[in-house]
Structure 1
Amino acid sequence: MKLDKKKTILVGIAFLTISAFWQLYDFVVPLMLRQEFGISDTISGIVMSLDNVLALFLLPFFGALSDRSLSRFGKRMPYIFVGTLFVSVGMFLLPLAAKIKNLPLLVVSLGIVLIFMSVYRSPSVALMPDITIKPLRSEGNAVINLMGAIGGVFTLVGLSLFDPLKVGYYPIFILVAGLMLLGLAIMIVTVKENQWAQQMLDDMRHFNIVEIEDDPNTNSLPKEVKRSLWFILASISFWYMGYNAVTTAFSRYATLQIGLTGREASFVLLFANVGAIVSFIPIGIFSSKFGRKFTIRAGVCLLGLVFLTATFYHQFSPLIYLNFVLAGVAWAAINVNSLPMVLEMADSNEVGKFTGLYYTFSMAAQIVTPIFSGLLFDVFSYRVLFPYATFFVVLSFITMSQVKHGDVVLEKE
């Protein structure tokens, strides 16, 4: 029983391009709204939250819809094909709207990219578990996360070469749209979704891997499995509440509380990304040997410790870099295993639906936590950032203790 890394990398191209897009969107669109259209930070913040709001409804819908889709190209590839093409069209319209300062065209362009990104995001993520047997999904998800990180780095490098404020918006949008279309072309040629999905089912039978059966009385998950599902979904919301609060507010915290410049604050956050990137693959292997739940809880403990100790930085210390490297490692331990644990409770016909559920709870947290934490900042100042994050991480540890399903440990052959 061994992960087919070549197949995993090929299906991971979709997540690579998605991550490249979001890195571009989050960096450039606020800049575009302010510089070209003079839109206030408040309205800009609302616009930037629309993707999370749409995701609450559209990701579960299209995930479940793709579960029921059958074609000679597979369940997920038609959504990836259509979604990528339309997002690419929207990406060519966005810089045009900025150049001619046409607000209605900007609104239409944003609508196209946000809706069609939601069309194929869940199907793209569901593609890896479709072709990977359950015990290997943490390793597979580690590869997928690494692919996503590479996509984000690609865009960051592109932004450093093609600064939108100096050369305009077209070069960076064309670069990222070109990557997305190239990735789509590679997937169309190489990914044999139906064949690979059938091979996965054959492997499940060969290794005698039994899926959880519905309760015949309720035609849904057994009560104890459903309880585990709701507890891990709650855990996902709680750790996103904590981690996302830090990543979104740290630049303000760093400049106002410990006297860093904006550039220095972003450099500190970069260390968290480095910690995660170097950890993805080792954590996937570790999880297969010692279990997903153990790895997640270890990651949650480490993340809580990192945030707790960060509370005591009243001025800059080089040790803060260590804090954020460890935060990246902890986040990788959590992120690599949480989706596979959710999908362990799904049968092979509901992978898209359960992927959508995962995103619903993570996105809901990312909508709520900037608002909730922002209210606390207004009342108590930015000093509450790390205590706030620590609180929600501790909550996630408590709820994870109630999760009794979704784990797997590979036996030595």
Structure 2
Amino acid sequence: MGEKQAIYDATTLGKPKMLILGLQHMFAMFGATILVPILVNSYFGGEGLSVQVTLFFAGLGTLLFHVFSKFKVPAFLGSSFAFLGGFATVAELNTGKFANMTYGEKLPYACGGIVVAGLLYLVLGVIIKVVGVKKVMRFLPPVVTGPIIICIGLSLAPSAVSNASMNWFLAFVALAVVIAFNIWGKGMWKIIPILMGVVISYVVAVVMQLIGFTNADGSAILNFEPIAQASWVGLPPFLIAKFDITAILVMAPIALATMMEHVGDISAISATTGNNFIEEPGLHRTLFGDGLATAMAGLFGGPANTTYGENTGVLELSKVYDPKVVRIAACYAIVVSFIPKIADVIGTMPTAIIGGISFVLYGMISAIGVRNVVENKVDFTKSRNLIVAAVILVSGLGFSDGITFVVAGTSITLTSLAIAALLGIILNAVLPGNDYNFGVNHKGDINRGVSFNNHDEEEKRA
């Protein structure tokens, strides 16, 4: 059999097949996208992000991205895992105005930080448009972004262990299923390991509940009462973001990692489809779309958005590269966001399952940071590279409580990640010997992102 023919116009397949292909894209993004609000809720004591709001802005953000990219780039925007560390930090802020706040009162400030992070995309987009992408990327080489990504994953490790300890058996089941589907899965099954980990371990949890098992602390594994009380149709519970310099300094520096993720994902989509989307419609346009989608989501209580490697895998699997199919998936996500009962089913997810999935997820984030460094052939025989990476890693993991100071009567906290990002960028700029050139090592540039799946097929196409 010959290689499957690439399709750039899905209308030739007919509407029924287009709808099914759109559903496939929705399933690919669903598990990872809903996992973000589930994890954030665990940080905020159940007062965190809404699954409904998350799905709504994943769909709406994707449509906005397509508008800015001239409807040419077949990318789906789902929830970004890179900001999980920021949410966890804001949840535990206890200085200044945050000292006496409940978790629910802190959440809007975290969302305000997301808004500012999204606006940083617009700044980078303008700079790239004016001076060119290669000059900008010289200030954000892998020796800076790689260690930052490593810090993001490792800072979340204690949370994974804490959640998994609620029921180690369930956590192990979730972890084993994700690994099995990611390594040995074929076709579509390989694209959705997180979704399968959630579904299968949830079924195991139901069986354990029926048999009479409980969590380690004696609590029930599942509580179905909220599902019975939920309605079938209802508006997502939007909220309005609030702004504080401390929360902004927690969330905004993470955009350094996610903007590099964006560059890598757009490169991967270009390699997969055979189109140079960095040149047309242009990286500045895709950054604008991604940034505005993130800012809009944060403004109304949603997580940051990011281009999804999972959906790039679906493109490679199906060979259907028409962006219209991705927009159909976006519409599905918006429709599902208006069904509260689905959100409440997701909300009953046992903490141990979240912990089990987080074991591999958080580790993968850090591992991708390592691959970021390896694939881009960072030369650690050079003292300047060792110094930059060392300062970032020690700052990102060592300043557990950050640095708090007062400016004009306002208490400001620089978190460990903010400190690491600032020091890394400054050191890279002032120390001689920066030899990184964006675009020279195409495979390395593609693998710069914080996404769960990075498919062999994409690398071969690269």
Higher relative contact order (CA 8 A, sep 6+): 2
Please give the TM-score of this superposition, normalised by the length of structure 2.
Answer: 0.28
